[in-house]
Structure 1
Amino acid sequence: MKIIFLGTGTSQGNPIIGSKHPVCLSKNSKDKRLRSSILIEKDKKIFLIDCSPDFRYQMLRSNYDKLNAILITHEHYDHVGGLDDIRSINFHMNKPIPIYGLRRVIENLKKRLFYLFSDNKKSNISKIDVHQLDVYDNFFFIENYKIFPLLIWHGNLTILGFRIENFAYITDASEIPIQTIQKLKGINILVLNVLRKIEKNPFPVMLSETLNIIQKICPKKTYLTHISHTFGFHEKIETQLPKNVYLAYDKLIIYE
């Protein structure tokens, strides 16, 4: 399994427009982060998790031109803002692209991107095949691969992470329930955002909380994503991380 980090930034990306923060002014390419998303390639099948507003550029620079499925963690703009740009891939593949998300997420998208769901579509509109998930589903199949949806809390919002074989992807988590931790114990590769402690302050980055979760799951390797410019410089952060915990960056490729 090949995993490509299309983007590893927060909702504003990095650099932020107009910001004079030192990290935003960094010349290191690893400090330049598009909105978070990954591609998974296995047996020539391509799965996308989240479709960020930077999707078009992400796909161009990664040189991919097809998608077998899109999995959506939740409905916030930085995770779905690129859905309209899948139409070029529709034209190339000449078929709709399956999209998987919670019922609430799909209903939200129907309001915001109503034309994607219309039965009366023009030829230049993206075409999708909708699959609604339940947060309590044990698993579902895409292209004969078993996918496990993972219950995650993003503040007061229920969102999804996804596990495919011994790889799992979690972003925007403020809390990970114990039942989800149990489903992840001992996996090979975990991708995880830096958790945020909502009850104390809406947005403080809590590396210690993230490391505590990693210790409970005990993956062989963990890659941190959804990184804010306030977290610091990539090279400096890496020196502060424990063994087998790494800071992901845009265009990073790993294998499971």
Structure 2
Amino acid sequence: MEVIFLGTGTSQGIPIIGSEHPVCLSENPKDKRLRVSVLISWNEHNILIDCGPDFRQQMLANDVKHLDGIFYTHEHNDHTAGLDDIRPFFFRQGDIPVYAHKRVLKALRKRFDYIFASENKYPGAPGVIEHEIHNKPFNFKGLTVTPINFMHNRLQVFGFRIEDFAYLTDLKSIEDEEVEKLQDLKVLVVNALRIEAHHSHFNLEEALEFIERVKPETAYLTHISHMLGFHDEVEANLPEGVHLAYDNLKIKI
């Protein structure tokens, strides 16, 4: 299994438009972050987790030619705004399967009604196949996918465990029974927004405490804002086995 970090930034990305913050002005490519998303590949299958506003750019940068499914964590703009850009995949493959909580599917239908329309559909619009997911494991192309339920302030979000890999973003609080689903991981990905506390995201301290609780073999931090600091400086001070993810990083599991 290969995982590509398509984007590792927070909702505005880095650099932020017009910002004079030193991290936004950095020339280090690892300090330039698109909105969060990962692509998971195995046996010529591709799963996309979240389809944000940078989706088109991310697909071109990584020469992705097909998608077997899109898994959605939740309905916020930085995780969903790129859905219209599945059109090239649709024209080659037909309807693209999307997997999401019932509430998220409802939000997508409202925002992208022309994609989900069953009658009088615009000829150039892409199509999707809806799959409602619940807080229980399901099979996808021979892999076991286990949703991980947690809270993003007051909003329910799904993370996903796929075999020995787990991806959790926009996490602020989680129940013990959900943490139990994360035992014996090879790789854990979790959000670490900044140094200071935040009402709906882990800060760095909370993310590191969570990693210590789960004890994966290796952990990567994502959904990073400019306020976390320069990539190289933060990376140099992380505990052993914990790394800052960066855009276009590829790992094998």
TM-score under structure 1 length normalisation: 0.95
Alignment of 1:18 with 2:18, yes or no, is yes
| Counterpart code for 1:18 | G
CA distance in 2 between partners of 1:15 and 1:41 (Å):
28
Match of 1:167 in 2: 165
Alignment of 1:242 with 2:239, yes or no, is yes
| Counterpart code for 2:49 | I
SS of residue paired to 1:25:
coil
- Following superposition, the deviation at residue 205 of structure 1 comes to 5.9
Match of 1:117 in 2: 116
Match of 2:98 in 1: 99
Q: Is the 8 A contact 2:193 2:202 kept in 1?
A: yes
Match of 2:250 in 1: 253
For 1:1-256, list aligned pairs within 5 A: 1-93=1-93, 95-120=94-119, 121-134=121-134, 136=135, 138-194=136-192, 201-202=198-199, 206-256=203-253
SS of residue paired to 2:22:
coil
Q: Is the 8 A contact 1:74 1:160 kept in 2?
A: yes
Structure 2 segments unaligned to the other structure (5+ residues): none
Q: Is the 8 A contact 1:238 1:246 kept in 2?
A: yes
Q: Is the 8 A contact 1:196 1:202 kept in 2?
A: no
Structure 1 segments unaligned to the other structure (5+ residues): none
- CA RMSD, aligned part only? 1.7
Cα-to-partner distance string for 1:33-79 (whole Å, 9 max, x where unaligned): 00000000010000000001000000001000110000000000000
Count of matched residue pairs: 252
CA distance in 1 between partners of 2:153 and 2:115 (Å):
29
Change (3 A) 1:84 1:163: same
Cα-to-partner distance string for 1:17-41 (whole Å, 9 max, x where unaligned): 0100000000000000000000000
| Counterpart code for 2:178 | T
- Following superposition, the deviation at residue 203 of structure 1 comes to 6.2
CA distance in 2 between partners of 1:72 and 1:156 (Å):
17
CA distance in 2 between partners of 1:254 and 1:82 (Å):
24
- Following superposition, the deviation at residue 202 of structure 1 comes to 2.6
After the TM superposition, list the runs of 4 or more consecutive aligned residues in structure 1 that deviate by more than 4 angstroms: 195-198
CA distance in 1 between partners of 2:222 and 2:16 (Å):
17
User: How much identity, in percent, do the aligned residues show?
Assistant: 46
TM-score under structure 2 length normalisation: 0.96
